[in-house]
Chain A
């Protein structure tokens, strides 16, 4: 009886651990590149102001992540960068303010980066999808802070359907986190109105492991 319980426990643990990884053909470390010449990879940001909510996007995304699909949680590492120049908010004057020295200081710091340190609270959500929290170093305007983002990643093996987007296996990633502007020394005045201290950031990107 004891052996049966122990065997079931081991089986349960094995299934649980495996469920937090991707069951795919690719073996060993895979590198997924997020540079998208088509400009469909996108980071969006939003902020509430007393007068109106501000919404913006950035499509100048580059960088890559590497991981072993059989051991995603322990092997994930990488860095994503977003070009400040590619940020748009729908108002040209506001975009200029956003890129100015008082704000993101494009001239001094042309990219906003997120470097992955590790993941936690990893859970399976379907065959090739995992959810969890990714911890990393977020650099904005020359200031680097530890940030935890909620994410979900979906791994699709190369097929006729995936080739329409890009060659190779694809990794779709959505992640969201909040950034406190005060942490990065930003004066939060834009075109005469106050921007909320907290900015919500959403990553909506696809990477390919094609070489």
Chain B
């Protein structure tokens, strides 16, 4: 493995680690979500009526393990191609 290939490999590993760090930072969800629910605080009338808090959905992108694997696969394919392209060509003697 030449220097260029090593650089590509190390960059790919670092990017994949970043992808999984971001995934962990978003709460390690299994599936990617585009909405999250938020519990609304109970009003006085809702308390008097014995109701539970209403949930509302807010638009928010939460990357899941599926997205992390997809991003890692893309990084692996691109780095694999680059490693292939950067391989040393055999010289005829």
Distance in angstroms from A94 CB to nearest chain B CB is 8
Contact status B30-A174, CB under 8 Å: no
Given contacts A88-B35, A90-B33, A91-B31, are A42 and B45 in contact (CB under 8 A)?
no
Residue A172 interfacial (CB < 8 Å): yes
CB of B49 within 8 A of CB of A91, answer no
Q: Which of A21-29, A77-85, A109-117, A159-167 contacts B (4 or more CB under 8 A)?
A: A159-167
B33 and A91 contact, CB distance less than 8 A: yes
Partner of B31, one of A52, A152, A154, A156: A52
Contact check, B49 vs A206: say whether CB atoms are below 8 A apart: yes
Give CA–CA (A105, B40) in the complex, Å: 30
* B30–A57 CB distance below 8 A: no
Segment of B4-12, B17-25, B51-59, B74-82 engaged in the interface with chain A? B51-59
B37 touches A90 (CB 8 A): yes
A90 and B52 contacting across the interface, CB-CB below 8 Å: no
Contacting B50 at CB < 8 Å: which of A40, A57, A174? A174
Q: Is A129 an interface residue (CB 8 A)?
A: yes
Which bracket fits the contact residues of B?
Answer: 20 to 34
Q: Is the CB of A90 within 8 A of B34?
A: yes
Verify B29–A52 contact, CB threshold 8 A: yes
Report how far A44 CA is from B34 CA in the complex, Å.
18
Select one of A91, A162, A204 contacting B45, CB under 8 A.
Answer: A162
Q: How far is the CB of A198 from chain B (nearest CB, A)?
A: 20
Q: A55-B37, A57-B55 are in contact. Are A172 and B49 (CB under 8 A)?
A: yes
Name, among B33, B49, B51, the residue most crowded by chain A CB atoms within 10 Å (CB to CB): B49
- Does A92 sit within 8 A of B, measured CB to CB? yes
- Per-residue CB proximity of A44-58 to B under 8 Å, as 1/0? 100000011001010
Q: B37 near A51 (CB under 8 angstroms)?
A: no
Nearest residue (CB) in A for B36 is: A90
In the bound complex, what is the Cα–Cα distance between A90 and B11 (angstroms)? 34
Do the beta carbons of A52 and B30 come within 8 Å of each other?
A: yes
Q: A52-B29, A161-B45, A164-B43 are in contact. List 6 more A-B contacts (CB 8 A).
A: A52-B30, A90-B35, A164-B45, A170-B49, A172-B46, A174-B51
Residue numbers of A with Cβ under 8 A of B are 40, 42, 44, 51-52, 55, 57, 88, 90-92, 94, 129, 152, 154, 156, 161-162, 164-165, 170, 172, 174, 191, 202, 204, 206
Q: Can you show 13 pairs from A to B with CB atoms below 8 A apart? A: A44-B55, A90-B37, A90-B57, A91-B31, A129-B50, A154-B48, A156-B48, A162-B45, A165-B45, A202-B52, A204-B51, A206-B46, A206-B51
